[in-house]
Structure 1
Amino acid sequence: MASPAFVLLHGAWHSPRCWSRLVPELEKAGYTTVAPSLPSSGSTPPTRDWAGDVEVIRRTVSQLVMERGVVVVMHSFSGMTGGTALEGLDKQSCLAKGLRGGVVRLIYVVAFLVPEGFQHSPHGTRDQMVPEMKTDLERGTVTVLPEDAKDMFYQDVDDETVVELVKDLRPQSIGAFWSTTEHAAWRVIPTTYILTLKDKPSTVAATRYLIDTAKASGPHKIDSVIEVDTGHSPFISQPEWTTETFLEEVNRTPVAA
């Protein structure tokens, strides 16, 4: 079977352009990459929920697993949509359907590793949102101001690059934060978690809690937790390290061969 393809899922407020430093590294190593645009970020008008994200993820992965293995990489917010979109797309389920591929590994990059039935914020509220998340309930959006972006996303990125990165930030649908997960793909698909230690201290603490809670919640396939001394977006600040780590994780996944 051909080398697995990487499906790269961007987080809230971002677009596929956030992967622009990582994609060339993965492709140079001989891997196909697909980075879909998730509609809850930047759609006008804002989406009512994250159903469009789930549909895009599921359609993208379903096309690939017909012929090859897939590694799904989720950053931050997309851990929720990615985790819920992959039901029945794991390798074993795909083989049972007569397909040649399947999702062989999940890589959560400081992403929401959450169980079934998880909701970030109760409907109609901004509960659980940090002060940097500016909500507009009338417009149905959550935004992050340019002056807050470095502290939120790019702690170890130089200021000149941050100026360029914030130009691509867009409003996020608040309805996506009110949506509820229906599946936890990490229970059935081998899973790597990358924990970024230079992130916001509150995010580091929350991340450790999510990992520990997931492991204690029942069956799971979280077989690798990697701590790295970077900020929230290591694929921007350390693309070579990120590529090397991703490939190491793929290479130790037997069904990816």
Structure 2
Amino acid sequence: MTDQRPTLVLVHGAWHLPSTWDLLRGELDTLGYPSLAVKLPTSGPDAHGGVPDDAEVIRAACEGVDGPVVVIAHSYGGIPATEAVAGLPRVRRLIYVAAFVPDVGESMYTMVGAPEPDAVEGMFPISDDPRAQLYADVPEAVADLALGRLVDQHHRSFADWVTRAGWHTVPSSYVVTEQDASLAVPVQERLAARTEDVRRIATSHSPHLSRPAELAALIDDMVRDRPSGP
């Protein structure tokens, strides 16, 4: 990769908003990376649509950048990001953080081995204990703020099949979160094998909130094609 800093396009996961990236964006700014965080239509007070709608927003954000782009996707965000980056020449890398890595014809349901639902309208409920599931190692004050920002998630987003898989042509990396209570580590390892560069961080599901500086350093290494440390 050239010395020109790419713009990092950040894609949040289910039940979240772009503000979930604020701490990480501060660390990335310190490292000299411009960034922007997209708002997915399937998440929010007016949650609607499905994977194609989310992918369209991501694709438009990438096409609006003047220069190289790296897309960073967390959790569910890996699904529409995979769809969105296919065929975009400015996208230099796709980084999955504890995220789903679908192939063509797969959905979130199929990737976790769950039966596809008969109906996908309405909202999909979050877990009874999102603090434990999503923010187990996040500092209490940060987790409290994150919990207060959780929003609705449209059910269709979990059932839509991917029609294009950008990781087949776009260089891709994966960050496995080794203490994850949301996306099981064995599932992450299986999905990470679809990428060409696997890193690990000893956090729960949200390293951008629990260890943003450490995650930013990992991202810097991946963007610069530096090998993993010992």
Fold match, TM over 0.5?
yes
3-state DSSP class of the match of 2:62? helix
Distance in structure 2 (CA, Å) of the matches to 1:165 and 1:12: 13
2:197 aligned with 1:224 = yes
TM-score of the pair, normalised by structure 2? 0.88
The residue number in structure 2 matching 1:20 is 22
1:49 paired residue number: 50
Q: How does 1:23-172 map to 2 (within 5 A)?
A: 23-44=25-46, 46-64=47-65, 67-89=66-88, 94=89, 102-121=90-109, 128=114, 140-144=122-126, 148-172=129-153
Partner of 1:249: 222
Q: Which runs of 5+ in 2 are unaligned?
A: none
| Number of equivalences | 220
User: What's the CA shift for 1:165?
Assistant: 1.0
1:13·1:143 contact (CA, 8 Å) conserved in 2?
A: no
SS at match of 1:172: coil
RMSD: 2.2
State the 4+ residue runs in structure 1 displaced beyond 4 angstroms: none
The structure-2 alpha-carbon separation of the partners of 1:138 and 1:225, relative to structure 1 and needing over 3 Å to count, comes to closer
Q: Give how far 1:143 is off.
A: 2.4
Name the CA shift for 1:248/1:60 in 2 (closer, same or farther; >3 Å). Answer: same
Distance in 1 between the 2:28 and 2:49 partners?
Answer: 34
Tell me, yes or no, if the aligned pair for 2:133 and 2:182 is still in contact at 8 Å.
no
1:139 Cα offset (Å): 6.4
Q: Could you tell me how far apart the structure 2 residues matched to 1:28 and 1:202 are?
A: 29
Answer with 1 or 2: which has the greater Rg.
1
1:87: Cα distance to partner? 1.7
Unmatched segments (≥5 aa) in structure 1? 95-101, 130-134, 215-221
* TM-aligned CA deviation for residue 48 of structure 1: 3.5
Shift of 1:25: 1.1
TM-score, structure 1 normalization: 0.79
1:88–1:139 CA distance, 2 compared to 1 (3 A): closer
Kindly provide the CA deviation profile for residues 13-68 of structure 1, in whole angstroms up to 9, marking residues without a partner as x. Answer: 00001001011111122111010111100152x4132222111101000111xx31
